[in-house]
Amino acid sequence: MLKKFCKGENILSSLFNVRLNVALTFNAKPESQSCLPDRQAFPEIVPPNSNLDSFQQEKSMDTYAEWDTWETINAVKGAIEHFHNCTLVEADYTAFEKLKEVNPQIVFNIAEGFNGASREAQIPSMLDMLNIPYTGSDPLTLAICLDKARTKEILSYYKIPNSRFVVVDSPERAKDIDLRYPLIVKPVSEGSSKGIFSSSFVKDKAALINEAERILAEYNQAALVEEFLPGREFTVAILGNGSNAEVLPVIEINFNDFPNDFIPIYSYEAKWILDTKENPLDVFTCPARIDKGLEAKIKDTALRTYSALRCRDWSRIDIRLDGNNVPNIIEVNPLPGILPNPEENSCFPKAARSAGLNYDDMINKVLYVAAKRHKLL
């Protein structure tokens, strides 16, 4: 199937035998709103994970990391418009009424949502109520995958390797943990490396308690504490459904270009501060330089995870090897990041380009597999 999408617009247009009315649902980063003075997403900008009773919490540097820039939003819209009509619907307080009014045949959903641990499920839940088809996973899968602990519990049930972990919901709980150091400490319900800094790598109880207290206070949610996996790190992009789900070329994340004082993890600092469009890190190798045996194990682990969590249409799955070179799941991302600029490091588009799909092809293939699943084609 991938080869069919590598031959350009004529092949894609033949697959889309109808011109669809598509809505694109999204959340825009506040800093990208400044170029659009007549627009604002909310009466006041609401942090994506406002778990407190009021919005008096101090915003951290990574508050809006999950939301998209207008560059990305417009790139997705432009890709869709090669073959279809596309209407923008911002995932704000008026989204439900807008979706009722627009009444699209299908929605291309990249909205990360706001408020609470199930925020990524908000737009799909509205769409289910309105009986409007959409791309990507359903509300249950989106909510589970954002809760890293629930994800790991399901993976463990299916005997899919992942590191030993504990959920810390109070400072006292951090004092009594039976795990092997070093550990990684992260918020239990965040994406885009939010809350993961060099300090998240802890080697003793004092550092663990400090990190747990930081997450409890700053993110108002429990901390996920995991045994650190010492091996190589990979990310796997998957497109499609069921037996037709395809693994794009595996990406390896390299840490050789990191400063000496940085821990070898793709933290928020690495992803959003060190690794910029102006000064990109040489951090990704795609396809990964691995032997066929390891490649097969990584792909099998990723596909089993995709199936166990009932992901649909597309996802990105992060994997790291343990001390025995066994692939372990780090995280599952059913709403993967899709920065359009090839000069910026964005895993899903990078894997797609390696498979012969340009950005527009990638977006339209996601739309195609979703429309086919909904029997719109």
Judge contact between 17 and 377, C-beta under 8 A: yes
**What pLDDT is stored for residue 355 in this prediction?**
97
**What pLDDT is stored for residue 133 in this prediction?**
98
**What pLDDT is stored for residue 34 in this prediction?**
46
Q: What are the distances in angstroms from CA 52 to CA 11, 113, 167, 185?
A: 50, 16, 20, 21
CATH number of 165-227: 3.30.1490
Cα torsion 305, 121, 188, 348: sign: positive
pTM: 0.86
**What pLDDT is stored for residue 16 in this prediction?**
78
Judge contact between 231 and 298, C-beta under 8 A: no
Show me where the domains of the chain are located.
Answer: 1-136+359-377, 165-227
CATH number of 1-136+359-377: 3.40.50.20
Cα–Cα distance between 111 and 130 in angstroms, integer? 17
Q: How many degrees, rounded to 5, is the angle at CA 72 between CA 365 and CA 360? A: 30
**What pLDDT is stored for residue 35 in this prediction?**
44
Helix axes 292-308, 148-157, angle to 10 degrees: 110
**What pLDDT is stored for residue 102 in this prediction?**
97
**What pLDDT is stored for residue 53 in this prediction?**
41
**What pLDDT is stored for residue 145 in this prediction?**
95
Fold agreement between 1-136+359-377 and 165-227: no
Q: What are the distances in angstroms from CA 193 to CA 54, 82, 89, 298?
A: 24, 33, 26, 22
Q: What are the distances in angstroms from CA 335 to CA 5, 77, 203, 319, 363?
A: 21, 16, 32, 17, 13
Peptide bond into 182 cis (omega under 30): yes
β-bridge mates for residue 44, sequence order:
none
Cα–Cα distance between 84 and 71 in angstroms, integer? 20
User: What's 267-283 look like in SS3?
Assistant: CHHHHHHHCCCCCCCCC
Judge contact between 191 and 146, C-beta under 8 A: yes
**What pLDDT is stored for residue 278 in this prediction?**
65
- List the end-to-end C-alpha distance of the chain, in Å, as a whole number: 16
**Residue 226: strand, helix, or coil:** strand
Residue 312 CB partners (closer than 8 Å, separation 6+): 136, 137, 138, 141, 241, 334, 370, 373
Nearest CA to 190 out of 232, 138, 237, 151 is that of 151
Q: How many degrees, rounded to 5, is the angle at CA 167 between CA 165 and CA 172? A: 120
What tens-digit pLDDT sequence spans the chain (377 residues)? 444 444 444 445 557 788 999 999 999 988 655 444 344 444 444 445 544 443 334 445 556 767 889 999 999 999 999 999 999 999 999 999 999 999 999 999 999 998 888 999 999 999 999 999 999 999 999 999 999 999 999 999 999 999 999 999 998 898 889 999 999 999 898 765 676 777 888 999 999 999 999 989 988 889 999 999 999 999 999 999 999 999 999 999 987 766 666 666 765 555 555 555 666 667 889 999 999 999 999 999 999 999 999 999 999 999 999 999 999 999 999 999 999 999 888 899 999 999 999 999 999 999 999 999 999 99
